[in-house]
Structure 1
Amino acid sequence: MNNKRKPLEERRAEIVEAGLSVAMREGVESVTVRRVAQEAGISLGTVHYCFDDKDAMLRAMGRSIAMRASEPVLSALDAGPDRKALAGATVDALLVGLKQHQHMRLLTFEFAVSGARTPVLREVAQAHLKQSIAMTREYLQRLADVVGVKFRTEIGTLARMTALRIDGIELAWMVDQDDEAAREGFADLAVAVFGQMEP
């Protein structure tokens, strides 16, 4: 067992990675504190020291997935204030991010389904949904700031609608692996979102 002392955040990150490895290989419902400790090569006590319980560990895993998914899209804002360039960069980033992190995105959907079925995981699934909407809201706010406009629709409502449409496009791509259809879906979504900007 690798119980050498490490900074708490570094150890937590290791545990999250171990949990994601187990989940991707064996499914979300296989993620237990014992299984993750084995995967990380650490003691059960170390996992309990870093996370109060399994739910806290699962929430951290959900945050990690959401952060990775949002990074390419946030970087698309570097395209500058031109709306057409921003829309194109965002569509590209959504597709690239989906393809690069497809196993992580699949886990997102597994969290949602498991949360709908299992009361124990429902709180984790709800927390992950809130994170996804919050990150979409952050993108939309930063997008409005870059372009120098406001949205006609309340930003919280727009963020929820946008996040749920992204999920639908991504889930369809998981099934059919059709890049062009996904790109068209993201492009249609970009038209809808940019159409909400004040003139």
Structure 2
Amino acid sequence: MSNRGAQTREKLVETALRLFRDDGFQSTTMRRIASEAGVSLGNAYYYFASKDELVLELYLVVQRAHRDQALPLLREGGSLAENLRMVLHSGLDVMTPYHGFGGAFLQSALPTTSKSSPFSAESADARAMAIDLMREALTASHQRTPSSLENQLPTLLWLTYMGVTLHWVTDSSPGQRRTRTLVDGLAPVVAKAVKLARLPVARSLVGDVATLIAKATAREEETVR
């Protein structure tokens, strides 16, 4: 892609995200995005076939910002509860400007066939970045991960983050205070669960969880192919 093409694409993304944030997802049309970006509608469709594709760009923008904000705050040798709490709160901080169109976005992303789904093949890059951030949080923490869950735990933590995000989207409390309270309570519970998973009595359950995540991942990879 030429420099001019890259600049046009970046301008479209910047304009779309601003309109999504300020006016909502449903009220923002491709025609308006093109108009405010100063490009023709045909040119806009050349770079992005639909608003769904621009939502995929939002994933990447948010995840890059989340990673940039969270990584410097990870405390080497800190507790998993502390680092996980920080990662979850920083994710909410980055998403906060987009809360207004969360409901409309959720309707678009929920269908399993939607490219906007965080579980879709098209979302693979953003999903990989999010899972890798969870891996960084685990690595920084002093708490040891059960060997049987070492590969799957970052994905499991990302799924926990997805649950927090779903709660945040539907949270109408001022500043999404209920979701912040959820994060404060959830992080130590998850850390305790990981610690308990190292006990012999939990090995069977941990093995079941690891197998379940592995099967789910395998099905996803087969779908992508």
Instruction: Normalising by structure 2, report the TM-score.
Output: 0.64
Deviations 1:90-130 (A, max 9, x none): 5356435534641224445432223347x7xx222344876
Paired AA for residue 17 in structure 1: E
Structural mapping, 1:3-152, within 5 Å: 6-49=3-46, 51-54=47-50, 55-77=52-74, 79-83=75-79, 87-88=81-82, 90-92=84-86, 94-95=88-89, 97-99=91-93, 101-116=95-110, 122-126=114-118, 127=120, 133-147=127-141, 149-151=144-146
Paired AA for residue 9 in structure 2: R
SS at match of 1:125: coil
Aligned to 1:161: 159
Deviations 1:35-73 (A, max 9, x none): 111121222344244x15124333223322333344333
Aligned residues: 188
Aligned to 2:221: none
Question: What is the CA–CA distance in structure 2 between the aligned matches of 1:178 and 1:45, rounded to whole Å?
Answer: 39
**Aligned partners of 2:84 and 2:137 also within 8 Å:** no
**Aligned partners of 1:15 and 1:47 also within 8 Å:** yes
Deviations 1:133-160 (A, max 9, x none): 5444212211222236335642255134
Shift of 1:16: 0.8
Instruction: Normalising by structure 1, report the TM-score.
Output: 0.70
Deviations 1:147-177 (A, max 9, x none): 36335642255134312332144236x4112
Paired AA for residue 43 in structure 1: S
**Aligned partners of 2:63 and 2:130 also within 8 Å:** no
Question: What is the CA–CA distance in structure 1 between the aligned matches of 2:40 and 2:159, rounded to whole Å?
Answer: 42
How many percent identity over aligned positions? 19
Aligned to 2:190: 193
Question: What is the CA–CA distance in structure 2 between the aligned matches of 1:180 and 1:132, rounded to whole Å?
Answer: 26
Distance 1:90 1:19, change over 3 A: same
**Aligned partners of 1:15 and 1:36 also within 8 Å:** yes
- Give the CA RMSD over aligned residues: 3.5
Any stretches of 5+ residues in structure 1 without a counterpart?
none
